[in-house]
Structure 1
Amino acid sequence: MYQQMIFVNLVTADVPATRKFYSGLGYGINEQFSSDDCVSVVISDTIVAMFLTPEHYARFTQKKIVDARTSSEVLLCLSAESRAKVDELVDKAIAAGGTSHGDPQDHGFMYGRAFDDLDGHTWEVMWMDPTAIQG
């Protein structure tokens, strides 16, 4: 079966700082699709976050580009394999210069936290008990 991929394109004010931030979280960089005005962050085999300078991003849209520090353009949510992995990733992000976003959400069968990256993009990290999904 074909594995559909998602390429999330986001604006960054500082490509080298973004590269360092996401590398510090343990994600790989695809150098083939990275340059001075873009960094390609490999989150998984099917998820890639493309961080582009505002000038480069503007080549792909005619809409106004929002400042994620003051406006919300998207909420991104990543799954985690355990509650501990949720905390691990969010704590790494905060230690690397990100900021905590909101309070932890603990519903017993589902647990999540969120962080804002260096440019204000909100990333939620969520774990859900597999038995809750099965019904």
Structure 2
Amino acid sequence: MMTDLWINLPVKNLAQSKEFFTQLGFTFNQQQGNTDHSACLLIGQKNVVVMLFDEPTFKGFTNSNIASADKGNEVLLSLGVESKEEVDELAKKAIAAGGSSNHKPKEMQGWMYGCVFTDLDGHKWNVLYLDKSKMPN
């Protein structure tokens, strides 16, 4: 039986990536997964693990090249927040910390409000507030 899910992302500069996510308000597990080559990013109330690995370490695990994030998207990492204001705030923090976005926060389909930003390594993050009272059945 499967017990956990970890998301693993390659990063060019581990120290810069840790600083980026710290500026966004994320925390790291300081006891596990925290080495010179990796960092254990914790997300949400359930502490979903996103492991950040320097590129040589990531390549060693996958035994393959790393895809170029600036040429397309392989995955969109979505973060649920509790309000539209949190979407706006996280988008602003991402830009201030060195990330980028060409997707301004907006309402979608009448019940979602969100924004996509790109981290320092080109990974796409989708910040969403879901108004469950307006969700279609």
TM-score of the two chains, using structure 2 as the length reference: 0.86
Other-structure match for 2:10: 11
How big is each residue's C-alpha offset from its partner over 1:38-60, in whole Å with a ceiling of 9 and x where there is no partner?
11111122411111111111122
In 2, the alpha carbon distance for the partners of 1:122 and 1:36 equals: 24
Find out whether 1:43 has 2:68 as its counterpart.
no
Secondary structure, in 3 states, of the residue corresponding to 1:57? helix
Counterpart mapping for 1:1-135 below 5 A: 5-31=4-30, 32-44=32-44, 45-107=46-108, 108-133=110-135, 135=137
Please tell me whether the aligned partners of residues 33 and 39 of structure 1 are also in contact (alpha carbons under 8 angstroms). Answer: yes
List gaps (5 residues or longer) in structure 2.
none
2:20 corresponds to which letter in structure 1?
F
1:61 corresponds to which letter in structure 2?
T
Please tell me whether the aligned partners of residues 87 and 105 of structure 2 are also in contact (alpha carbons under 8 angstroms). Answer: no
List gaps (5 residues or longer) in structure 1.
none
Task: Give the structure with the larger strand fraction.
Answer: 2
Please tell me whether the aligned partners of residues 101 and 113 of structure 1 are also in contact (alpha carbons under 8 angstroms). Answer: no
Work out the percentage of aligned pairs sharing the same amino acid: 36
In 2, the alpha carbon distance for the partners of 1:96 and 1:114 equals: 15
Q: Kindly report the root-mean-square deviation, in angstroms, between the aligned alpha carbons of the 2 structures.
A: 1.7
In 2, the alpha carbon distance for the partners of 1:49 and 1:90 equals: 19
Matched residues, number: 132
Secondary structure, in 3 states, of the residue corresponding to 2:77? strand
